[in-house]
């Protein structure tokens, strides 16, 4: 990665600068709406639906919601990760001495089992530099094939984080490549924030977003979104699975202390990583994320199925956790009811990616 001393400050202006830098390399993904999903989101849940949940016995919330879906599932490599990877590599090329020191020949390295691996591989191939990607031996074959299709040099490792980190350290020592981390770096954060920046400019002139909700794992997308909304009056929320403690963002915000370890088997496999220190400095340190909300595995499946049936777009489980919060989390829905009243909220929902295998899809939405 570019040296921290050379990175831009974590501000909205820096997200704007990042967008100018990467515009030639990314898609301006579309913003979609769906009146059926809006009606469903604005319909109170029944007492029977709430029975057996933490909201049993509570009067169902009556929010008014108009949803604006930012479709990063239609981004290059099928996920928002392309934004951060392109920005990181373009900034690296601007670092004094990197090219002169043989950086273009040594290339970049990272470890990832999926979207980040593909994003770094694509961005490196566009710049004609080597990409050294460490992938766990348990990675899905389609993801390995996609990463390899961009010309990456793949090295396999054990399945857990220490295995990956040890292997990528060996690769970097051997090649001299520069590490491109998946989320814990300003260049990645600023690149990811460009999705929310675009969303703000793509709405009809008479529409002003009340809030944006994004999935949260390592926190690159969420912290970038928060920076893109800084000073605009737009509230920012994070969404997570609840299974086996995957809601580390929610719990961290409630306690004021970052949780640094998560072990979960949620179907939202892109959201199994705890929030990193640099994203946390934006989310909590700068106070730019209002709250985190979580949803169950069944609610993720239901939201995913609704998107397929009603919107006809391909999304992965991680992509729909924000929508699932808007549809099913009574704490969030109650907040919209209280603050939005009869007018309600215009809520931006980021679909973070659409990389799901056809074999797995049937099982997920069965």
Give catalytic residues, as residue numbers: 81, 113
Q: Name the H helices within the chain.
A: 12-22, 35-41, 47-50, 81-94, 103-106, 115-126, 141-149, 161-175, 186-192, 194-202, 220-228, 248-255, 277-280, 297-311, 321-328, 330-340, 358-365
Neighbour tally for 168: CB within 10 Å = 22
Asked if 274 contacts 333 with a C-beta cutoff of 8 angstroms, the reply is: no
Q: Which residues pair with 293 in a beta bridge?
A: 239
Residue 6 buriedness (CB in 10 A; 0-12 / 13-18 / 19+): middle
- Strands laid side by side in the 235-241 sheet: 31-32, 65-71, 345-351, 211-215, 235-241, 291-295
Phi-psi group of 99: left, alpha or beta (phi > 0 → left; psi -120 to 50 → alpha; rest → beta): alpha
Count how many Cα atoms sit within 13 Å of the Cα of residue 140 in the half-sphere of its side chain.
15
DSSP state of 270: G
Tokens, residue 237:
């929320």
């Amino acid at each position: 990665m570019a040296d921290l001393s050379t990175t831009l400050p974590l501000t909205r202006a820096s997200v704007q600068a990042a967008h100018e830098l990467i515009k030639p390399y990314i898609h301006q993904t579309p913003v979609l709406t769906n009146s059926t999903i809006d009606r469903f989101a604005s319909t109170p849940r029944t007492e029977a639906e709430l029975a057996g949940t933490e909201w049993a016995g509570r009067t169902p919330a009556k929010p008014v919601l108009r949803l604006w879906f930012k479709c990063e599932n239609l981004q290059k490599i099928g996920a928002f990760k392309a934004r951060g990877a392109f920005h990181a590599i373009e900034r690296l090329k601007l670092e004094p001495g990197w090219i002169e020191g043989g950086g273009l020949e040594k290339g970049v390295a990272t470890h990832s089992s999926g979207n980040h691996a593909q994003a770094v591989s694509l961005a490196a191939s566009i710049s004609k530099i080597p990409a050294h990607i460490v992938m766990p031996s348990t990675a899905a074959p389609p993801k390995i094939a996609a990463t390899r299709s961009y010309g990456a040099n793949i090295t396999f490792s054990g399945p857990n984080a220490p295995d990956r980190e040890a292997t990528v350290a060996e690769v970097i020592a051997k090649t001299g490549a520069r590490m491109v981390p998946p989320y814990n770096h300003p260049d990645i954060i600023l690149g990811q924030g460009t999705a929310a920046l675009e969303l703000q400019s793509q709405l009809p002139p008479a529409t002003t977003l009340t809030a944006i909700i994004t999935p949260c794992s390592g926190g690159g997308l969420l912290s970038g979104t928060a920076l893109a909304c800084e000073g605009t009056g737009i509230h920012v929320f994070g969404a997570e699975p609840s299974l086996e403690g995957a809601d580390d963002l929610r719990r961290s915000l409630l306690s004021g202390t970052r949780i640094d370890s998560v072990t979960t088997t949620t179907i939202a496999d892109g959201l199994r990583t705890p929030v990193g220190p640099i994203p946390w400095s934006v989310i909590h340190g700068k106070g730019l994320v209002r709250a985190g909300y979580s949803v169950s595995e069944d609610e993720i499946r239901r939201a995913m199925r609704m998107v397929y049936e009603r919107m006809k777009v391909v999304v992965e489980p991680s992509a729909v956790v924000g929508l699932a919060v808007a549809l099913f989390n009574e704490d969030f829905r109650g907040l919209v009811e209280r603050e939005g009243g009869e007018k309600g909220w215009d809520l931006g929902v980021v679909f973070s990616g659409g990389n799901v295998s056809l074999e797995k899809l049937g099982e997920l939405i069965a």
